[in-house]
Chains A and B, each alone.
Chain A
Amino acid sequence: MQVAAENVFKALSDPTRRAIFERLARDGEQTVHALTDHSGVSQPAISKHLGVLKHAKLVRDRREGRETHYRAHPQALAPLIDWMSVYGAFWRDRFDRLENLLKRMDK
């Protein structure tokens, strides 16, 4: 668990890798070429970043012909899911709901 969390942190500590991961999570599976075209970074650099993301299990790949396709694997975020910041947002949202409920209970 701890090693996994460290790998995920290391992988996401770089803004280019964060952008790649967010893009795959948002837009679905993409080839290295497609990712390179939008990034302004060279293809070898993108491949290296994808390697780090893959090591952290944040992305998965598959070969199809000459192209390697990558997709996000958000389950790898599990080690991070218990963040205080996540719970902070969670509880604030639930407090809002609690207040709404209290108003309805007046009726």
Chain B
Amino acid sequence: MLLRGLLASVETGVNRVLRLDSTALARLRPLTGKVIAVRGSSPTVQLFILPSDEGLMLAAEWAADADCTLRAPTSTLLRLTLSKDKSAVLHSPQVDLEGDSAALMALAAVLQDLELDWEYELSRWIGPVPTALIGGHLRSRANWYQQGFASLNQNLAEYLSEEARTLVGEREAQARFEQIDRLKLDLDRLEARVERLSRSLKPSDHA
């Protein structure tokens, strides 16, 4: 019952998030009726996902056969949940897919493309005008912080590589790597030439 309680809470949270995206539920509609089984190993976990245009239903067990079964180590499943590029994780060799994989791929695509309209949700609680004010304020703050971090990042990199000389600059490192590559090629050529000369100085076996 504890697991079911946990799944019910997660389900409520996930569906609330899905409703913040204007297209997610519509994109889930064609998946209605599909049963996706997720089985993790070490530690063993099992979960059934039933998508529909009302969101996702999460079940600890399901009496009917699954349309698609995903088997993977639990750590990989966690990575799949957190990863932005879910398709890449699904195509990794540790992941085993059985049945109608298109359903799972479609679900992964919906989750990957989520664009949450948090302003709409906020406006339902506090109204459109305060939401617009808060939204504008937060956006300008976010831009300011973004620019500030980018600028700090650039200045710090320049200071460490150009002024303090603690780190080697990227261009300088690139030039040094190219020199090393050239030197390596020159050495290879020299070695080949010495080899050829030593062979020509040796008396021939047929002489």
Is B truly associated with A?
no
Chain B residues near A (Cβ < 8 Å): none
Chain A residues near B (Cβ < 8 Å): none
